[in-house]
Structure 1
Amino acid sequence: MNAVVILLLAALLGCGPATAQALRLPAPPAARFDPVPDTLLPLDAALRDDAGRHVKLATLFDRPVVLVPGYYTCPNLCSTLFEGVLQALALSGLGAGDYRLVGLSVDPRDGAAAAATRKRVYAALLPGGAADLTLLTGDAATLARLELALGYRAVPDAATGQLAHAAGFVVVATDGRIARAFSGVRFDPAGLRAAVKAAARAEPAPSFGQQVLLLCAHYAPTSGLHTGAALAGVRAGVLLLPLLFVCWLWRRRGGRP
């Protein structure tokens, strides 16, 4: 047993720099989404709605807001994300008027026409219809303030002209503070319902230990796929775990086979 373990470890550790380099994951992308609960959004932010009207962010908080950042001309992740939110809301048991669903384009090139086109599609899938849905656009300076408050960053891709960005949304209480954040593209309807109800009562945000975070290691936002290096890292972990277990068991038995 001792000899087998030594040989396996030697094979893994002695493969040279090339193998070690292949097992290392690349740096995470510059795009990010890490909202901080209880952060106050800039309620004085001046935006435009899907009809082209000027609107202050504060006027939308007559009820809890489900705020989904992205952009309306995105060919990849944004529609999948928004459809995931719509599906979770439809299955949550929440009724019309319990919340306001707000889309926020982080691309200053988006205008009211792009927002109106998306709204026609999304409103048909929403329990409350267009009355519960607002899609916003804004200028670069205003959007930068909102992204900072949301812990959100989208990065232009020089090759495609698209924006690389993370997938997620926040539930915001009626006082404009972030109550809960959700990451990913598919969401638990019961969890979303609880977050909206808590936001309506202005309850404190749940602690880190109370939340299950959906983490996506090295996601390629422009393509909607995981990177090859991330998948290689997962496969390497699957191969190493049994070996580590065998080593632990061998040491626990005092080196006896």
Structure 2
Amino acid sequence: MRSALLLFLLLVWPTQAISQSALHQAHDAAAAVTAHDRSTTEQAQEALHAGHGDAAPMPMEPLAQDPATDDGPAQSTHSGHAQPEAMPADHSGHGTMAPPVGNVTPASAPEPEHVHPAPVAEASIGVTEKLGEFIAAETRFFDEDGKAVTMGEIVDKPTIVVPIYFSCPNVCAIIQSSLTAVLPDVKLEPGVDFQVVSVSFDDTDTPELATRQKRNYMAAMDFKYPENGWRFLTGKETDIRMLMDSLGFGFRREGKDFLHPVVIMAVSPKGKIVRYLYGTKPLAFDLTMAATEAGREQIGLSVKRVLAYCFSYDPEGKRYAFNFMKITGTGILLILVVLLVSLMLAGRKKRTPRN
């Protein structure tokens, strides 16, 4: 009996040892595969967290289950790939995108709108008569002595305002030279009954230039004209524009020169515009009448419509040109009307019976 038991143990014991050894080897192999799978899963989660998009799920093949491990704690761990642990809420789907690096603009940021600047309107050239309106008395200028004055302080008597600029090569010099010829013939006392004020609309002109201009024109009159009878003013662009707009005087800079009309204005002591005088050669009679009307606050006759019809301003020549075609057409039309009326009257006379 003892021999039989010993023989049975010799036959059975190696088999159990071998089975246990094989079981341990299979368990170690499964643990290694599981560790590899976990490492792969963690790498996929890290890539997903870095914003690489949705990672395609890795195929999971079930591990060959050792029949010897049907029972025991190893069954739930090694039956196929272990499911990864639940991700945090911010890792679901695409996860939280990493903030942009460098100059990358987020897609959600709206592009700034391209705003086109409004076109700047060019100043119109010409005269808009403002009879009965008042000049900008608050505008500040500098006289020929460099003293700051306002137009309200300057215009304290009937005033002939002469818009010019000192470097003007032609019409401005012509009109002021014409004034030197006719001012002594005006039937009013200069500096008392009236005055002339030349205002430069070039903001680069200085009081020194104004002094030089005044000296030249006073010399042309043999210095017999009173100093306070003719003033010369310069100013800044804002004040110049404000004053010229109130006078209805439209001008525009062209390089170093200006495009501008040729006109002077008569202004009352209260600053009211009473008359416009056009052309480069004013008459002493016209200046006398304009200054007299200004002293009475009396608005004179507007010749703007007649001037606009008979003449047109030439910006290139900087002068008014005679509208030959318009005047000729008007003359022909008047002749035709006279002929037609004459024929009608002649026809009526023929039809009148004789007694």
TM-score of the two chains, using structure 1 as the length reference: 0.73
The 1-side partners of 2:317 and 2:277 are apart by 21
Q: Is residue 113 of structure 1 aligned with residue 181 of structure 2?
A: no
Query: How large is the Cα RMSD of the aligned pairs?
Result: 3.2
Asked if the contact 2:276–2:302 (Cα under 8 Å) also holds between the matched residues in 1, the reply is no
Map of 2:232 onto structure 1 = 135
TM-score of the two chains, using structure 2 as the length reference: 0.55
Map of 1:181 onto structure 2 = 276
Deviation at 1:61, TM superposition (A): 2.5
Q: Deviations over 1:181-225 (max 9, x none)?
A: 21122223223213223323x43313559x996556212144245
Unaligned runs of at least 5 residues, structure 1: 1-28
The 2-side partners of 1:127 and 1:62 are apart by 23
The 2-side partners of 1:183 and 1:104 are apart by 16
Higher CA-based Rg: 2
Asked if the contact 1:95–1:128 (Cα under 8 Å) also holds between the matched residues in 2, the reply is no
State, as a whole percentage, how many aligned pairs show the same letter.
22
Show the 5 A alignment for 1:196-207: 196-200=291-295, 202-207=296-301
The letter for the 1-side match of 2:243 is L
Higher relative contact order (CA 8 A, sep 6+): 1
Map of 1:55 onto structure 2 = 149
Deviation at 1:246, TM superposition (A): 3.9
Map of 1:147 onto structure 2 = 244
1:218 aligned counterpart, secondary structure: strand
The 1-side partners of 2:131 and 2:246 are apart by 10
Show the 5 A alignment for 1:80-229: 80-97=174-191, 98-124=193-219, 125=221, 128-157=225-254, 161-200=256-295, 202-208=296-302, 214-215=307-308, 217-225=311-319
The 2-side partners of 1:243 and 1:206 are apart by 34
Asked if the contact 1:81–1:185 (Cα under 8 Å) also holds between the matched residues in 2, the reply is yes
The 1-side partners of 2:190 and 2:335 are apart by 51
Deviation at 1:250, TM superposition (A): 4.3
Asked if the contact 1:85–1:185 (Cα under 8 Å) also holds between the matched residues in 2, the reply is no
Map of 1:65 onto structure 2 = 159
How many correspondences in the alignment? 224
The 2-side partners of 1:30 and 1:244 are apart by 38
The 2-side partners of 1:105 and 1:239 are apart by 43
The 2-side partners of 1:251 and 1:144 are apart by 57
2:204 aligned counterpart, secondary structure: coil
The 2-side partners of 1:140 and 1:90 are apart by 33
